[in-house]
Amino acid sequence: MTRPVFLGNGQLTVGLDEFGLVHDFYYPYVGLENLSTARSIGHKIGIWVDSKFSWVDKTWECKVDFYSDALISNISLTNRDLQIELYMQDFVDFKKNIFFRKIKVINHANNPRTVRLFMHQMFEISHQGRADTAFFVPEENYILDYKGKSNLLIYGQKSDGKPFESFAVGSYGIEGKQGTFIDAEDGVLSDNSVEHGSVDSVIGFSLSLNAKGSDYVDYWIIASDTQFNAEKIHNLVKLDSLDKHLEDTRDLWHDWFKIADSKLSKINEKYLGITKKSLMLIKVHMDKRGGIIASCDSSIYNYNRDYYSYVWPRDGAFAIWPLIRMGFVDEPKMFFEFCRDILTSEGFMMHKYQPDKSIGSTWHPLLHNNHKELAIQEDETAIVIYMMGQYYLYNDNDDFIFKMYDTFIKPAANFLANYIDEKNGLPHASYDLWEQKFITSTYTVSIVYQALLVATQFAEKFDYPDDALNWKTVASKIANNIDTFFSSEQGYLIKGFLLDKTGEISFDNTLDVSSFYGAFMFGQNIFKLNQLHSTITKIEDTLIKQTPIGLCPRYEGDNYFETEPTHKGNPWFVTSLWIAQYYLSLNMIDQGVEVLDKCLSYKLYSGVLSEQLNSNNGNLISVAPLVWSHAETINTILDLSISGYHQ
């Protein structure tokens, strides 16, 4: 499953599945506490008409999209047997933690009919399925689902302002009970008003529709710390109307895009929609406290041991790069401050974090070959220094960078300068970009080198000559030994090597696209052009041409989510777009556009890109959306706009 639409405001984040149903509901941090964790079903929507009942599912024709100028859904759900269509516009309020749905119920029959609409909610606030409570509040006519400081107020009203007519609260998935949603299937709800444990609820509306006629239902869920605060917001919404919040939200997204107007105006119309959608998908994964989630798509937990709902410093840095290039200021600053706060006293960042700045899960051990090692990916620390350089390049903000110098740049650069093997003057081994191998990799060495140069420039600017000399000296030693990573025998940049405690070196000759990208993007002035050219030729012949859909796997023999029949590995959007960026840098416009267009041909109807693609048929694999995929899409389109491309 995928999430064609994500909606959010930096605190409340809602993911909709391919049927337009709520399947992820994060509050109060983006990507941390998922209050809707029923993996088998999302929140349901049901229709009863002419004594027939249907839940929205694969028997319906579902078009799930969102607008390219505002993060508002654009969803059409059609049941031809029932002659019913639902058109929905969903959004999360920019200023208040409210998920809104405006539902237009359309009767396609040639006769008037009474249609009953049922909205089902299933939350697991306690994450145990045993400790939640839901009840009906008669004075205000809403359902409250709560546990501790997570209070969810559920309400809906018809176009005449009258609230839902029927409701039911009950048990879900315990004591032999499937769930209260079953109560709706005869078209009549029980009005049971309270339950605790594992609970779900349904509210019902009765609509009298003319032949070929329609009517509206406004529906919302308010997330707050107390019932009292939720009810205050609820009463204000009833005074304002949903439509006002819809227009305010649209206007605020329009204002946000104005920051990037000068860049957006130079993008070819063909790519403008996906650029703006990708920007919004990155934005919606940003917590207001600075963390950037790799993906809020929880469906991967059905197939894997964990979510992608963490802050990887590297993913976050790549996510803000296109925003920096497009003129956004606040989001990069918040991310840098987040990184400052999680930096260890030794000057490095750990594998990944939760958006509340606590350390996330890891599979990196502290022992390697019975020797104590840091469980880190050194590139994650280096890339943040580099992005601060990019931020300064586009914003020239002395005050902010000066504040970050002592609190992040200096300790992080000192760590990079000290985490060096004396034998060869190259960075000590750490876990690679793909989080799999403990190695001194070509990619990591490239970004460490560039980060030290950026730190040197800041040291010189702010008059710290000793720091500048130290970091520049280490960078020079790296440059002097960089030929280690090119194999004349293989004819390409290798994955890297491992230097053991005895001084023996074991080379890893894996053909890895990250080795090429690191050298191309961060090490162009130390790697030779012929080394880059021969490596890209090898990648084209060995990886891209040998993959049926003609896009690029991460490395030869990649078995993560391996498909059958197997090839060199599944293509990734990120690595494929790196290849497009390389072509564009050489003014090979047609080749770059070909790769970009091929990538975009596999996007979801809504424009969402996943992490991987099935190497045989192009079906999306792993999380969707993946923020990094959308960041590289924007970067590629920006590179193309610089070329002056016009189709």
* Contact yes or no for 122/23 (Cβ under 8 A): no
| Binned average pLDDT, 10 residues per bin, the chain of 647 residues | 91 96 95 78 91 96 98 98 98 96 98 98 82 94 95 97 96 82 94 93 98 98 98 94 95 98 96 98 98 92 76 98 98 98 98 97 91 95 98 94 98 98 96 96 98 98 98 97 96 96 91 98 94 97 95 95 86 98 96 98 97 95 96 98 75
pLDDT, position 39:
52
Instruction: List, edge to edge, every strand of the sheet that includes 150-158.
Output: 61-66, 73-79, 84-92, 98-107, 214-224, 150-158, 142-147, 132-137, 194-197
Question: All domains of the chain, ordered by start, with CATH?
Answer: 5-255 (2.70.98.10), 259-642 (1.50.10.10)
pLDDT, position 175:
76
pLDDT by residue (tens digit) across 2-16?
A: 899 999 999 999 999
Q: Any idea which residue has 């300064």 for tokens?
A: 392
| 461/467 Cα distance (integer angstroms) | 11
pLDDT, position 105:
98
* Contact yes or no for 633/573 (Cβ under 8 A): yes
pLDDT by residue (tens digit) across 214-239?
A: 999 999 999 999 999 999 999 999 99
621 is written with which tokens?
């694999």
pLDDT, position 295:
96
Closest by CA to 632, choosing from 552, 559, 531, is 552
pLDDT, position 307:
86
| 215/523 Cα distance (integer angstroms) | 60
Closest by CA to 628, choosing from 515, 517, 492, 493, is 517
Alpha carbon of 589 to those of 141, 367, 514, 603: distances in Å?
A: 60, 47, 22, 22
pLDDT, position 292:
98
Closest by CA to 104, choosing from 115, 96, 93, 120, is 115
pLDDT, position 131:
87
Q: Is the CA virtual torsion 252, 255, 259, 265 positive or negative?
A: positive
613's CB contacts (< 8 A; 6+ apart) are 549, 551, 570, 571, 572, 573, 602, 619, 620, 621
Alpha carbon of 382 to those of 39, 100, 168, 635: distances in Å?
A: 37, 41, 54, 20
89 is written with which tokens?
């516009």
Helix 627-642 with 269-284: angle, nearest 10 deg: 150
Question: Full-prediction pTM beyond 0.85?
Answer: yes
Q: Any idea which residue has 């943040």 for tokens?
A: 384
357 is written with which tokens?
């700045």
**How would DSSP label each residue in 556-582?**
TT--TT--SS--S--BBHHHHHHHHHH
